[in-house]
């Protein structure tokens, strides 16, 4: 779990040192406290495609990490952040050519933290990290050379699995806790209110970027939740059925597709879609029968709603016609994939995080 003591790659030279030293938006205070720390050259952790998913290669600079979360910087997709299991936060400012660990001289963020979720404010100059470290779930804000612990869960061993920052007012923040609490602050984290509570812990949280207060969440017992009141009132959908018939089994991940105005879920059953905020789900037609192979991740094209990618049985599939036809492409080593991310600045470029 992370200790914010960053890490500079001394050998890259003065020019790169200046660029990387800015971290996300600021001075080199988050880097170089302990001198140089190179990425361990171990197993692959992220693979990249630069041709829309047809071919893939290992991101060599990220070897040795176990990625849990991934976020592009708003306004600059050449910069991205990787939240890891047990190795804190890492950042690249040059599309992955170099990756360095982010550290905190103030000791708010540990370099061995688990980081389950990363989000940003409207301008992209502050990060909000859902962190598990020192036995507690925490929400940590990073901006410039300053790190703040905005919230620590009152109970040990309960994580924070997502936060949402209002596009209108950065002081208005919501977070989802592993104990089933949904909390809100309107003063930037000085005070928090538990505005709702569910019977199961939250493990995933997503928002509609165009509609303030519209969120979706998944519980640890696989119930699906939807709210249009910023989390004060939730509609709970237990025992989800696919096409009103079968259980989807485990939902591994879900996203909201702005271009389709729909929720997409990767599940044991297959690839699912909901057009009514999670109340009902339909199955996409895919190259294999339902329940034959798991779909573990899904991504949507940022501009064309008919273009989707999914990870099915350890391979990547792409459709350009909304699921009528699919093309399959091999991944290196047929590795298990946790997430898929599309570079909105260059949608031919995709990043996939390997699960261990």
Write out the H or E segment, with its range, that includes residue 341. strand 337-342
d(CA 219, CA 55): 35
Q: Are 182 and 196 in contact (CB under 8 A)?
A: yes
What pLDDT sits at residue 142? 96
Residues belonging to the chain: 356
Question: Is the pTM for the entire model greater than 0.85?
Answer: yes
What pLDDT sits at residue 145? 78
CATH of domain 239-356: 2.130.10.10
With a pLDDT cut of 90, the percent of the chain lying above it is 81
Query: Does the pLDDT of residue 34 top 50, yes or no?
Result: no
Handedness of CA 333, 334, 336, 340 (dihedral sign): positive
Q: Are 30 and 127 in contact (CB under 8 A)?
A: no
Query: What pLDDT digit, counting tens, does each position of 336-353 carry?
Result: 999 999 999 999 999 999
d(CA 9, CA 27): 16
Backbone angles phi, psi at 251, to 5 degrees: -90, 120
Query: What pLDDT digit, counting tens, does each position of 90-129 carry?
Result: 999 999 999 999 988 889 999 999 999 999 999 999 999 9
- Mean per-residue pLDDT for 176-197? 98
Two structure tokens written together for 339: 């997430």
What pLDDT sits at residue 314? 87
Q: Helix or strand or coil: residue 267?
A: strand
Closest-CA residue to 270 (of 309, 308, 302, 312): 312
What pLDDT sits at residue 33? 37
Query: Does the pLDDT of residue 163 top 50, yes or no?
Result: yes
d(CA 131, CA 145): 19
Q: Helix or strand or coil: residue 334?
A: helix
Arithmetic mean of pLDDT over the chain: 89
What pLDDT sits at residue 41? 52
Beta bridge partners of 58: 47
Residue 104 backbone zone (phi > 0: left; psi -120 to 50: alpha; other: beta): beta
Query: Does the pLDDT of residue 75 top 60, yes or no?
Result: yes
What pLDDT sits at residue 103? 86
Q: Are 303 and 347 in contact (CB under 8 A)?
A: yes
Residue spans of the domains in the chain: they are 239-356
Using a 10 angstrom Cβ sphere, with 0-12 exposed, 13-18 middle and 19 or more buried, the burial of residue 17 is: middle
């Amino acid at each position: 779990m992370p200790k914010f003591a960053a890490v500079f790659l001394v050998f890259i030279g003065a020019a790169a040192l200046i660029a990387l030293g800015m971290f996300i938006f600021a001075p080199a205070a988050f880097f170089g406290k302990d001198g140089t720390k190179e990425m361990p050259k171990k197993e692959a952790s992220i693979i990249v495609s630069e041709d829309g998913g047809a071919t893939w290669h290992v991101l060599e600079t990220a070897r040795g990490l176990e990625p849990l979360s991934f976020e592009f910087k708003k306004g600059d997709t050449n910069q991205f952040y990787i939240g890891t299991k047990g190795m804190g936060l890492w950042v690249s400012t040059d599309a992955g050519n170099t990756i360095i660990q982010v550290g905190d001289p103030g000791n708010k963020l540990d370099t061995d933290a688990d980081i389950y979720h990363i989000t940003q404010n409207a301008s992209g100059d502050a990060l909000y990290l859902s962190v598990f470290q020192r036995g507690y779930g925490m929400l940590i804000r990073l901006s410039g050379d300053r790190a703040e612990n905005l919230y620590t869960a009152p109970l040990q061993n309960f994580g924070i699995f997502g936060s949402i920052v209002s596009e209108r007012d950065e002081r208005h923040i919501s977070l989802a806790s592993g104990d089933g609490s949904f909390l809100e602050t309107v003063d930037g984290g000085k005070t928090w209110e538990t505005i709702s509570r569910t019977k199961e812990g939250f493990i995933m949280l997503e928002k509609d970027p165009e509609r303030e207060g519209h969120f979706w969440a998944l519980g640890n017992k696989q119930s699906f939740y939807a709210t249009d009141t910023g989390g004060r009132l939730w509609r709970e959908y237990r025992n989800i059925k696919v096409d009103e018939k079968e259980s989807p089994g485990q939902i591994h991940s879900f996203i909201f597709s702005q271009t389709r105005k729909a929720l997409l879920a990767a599940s044991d059953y297959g690839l699912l879609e909901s057009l009514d905020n999670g109340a009902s789900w339909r199955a996409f037609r895919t190259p294999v029968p339902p329940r034959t192979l798991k779909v573990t991740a899904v991504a949507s094209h940022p501009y064309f709603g008919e273009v989707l990618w999914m990870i099915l049985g350890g391979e990547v599939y792409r459709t350009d016609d909304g699921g009528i036809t699919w093309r399959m492409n091999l991944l290196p080593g047929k590795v298990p994939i946790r997430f898929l991310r599309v570079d909105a600045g260059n949608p031919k470029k995709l990043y996939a995080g390997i699960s261990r």
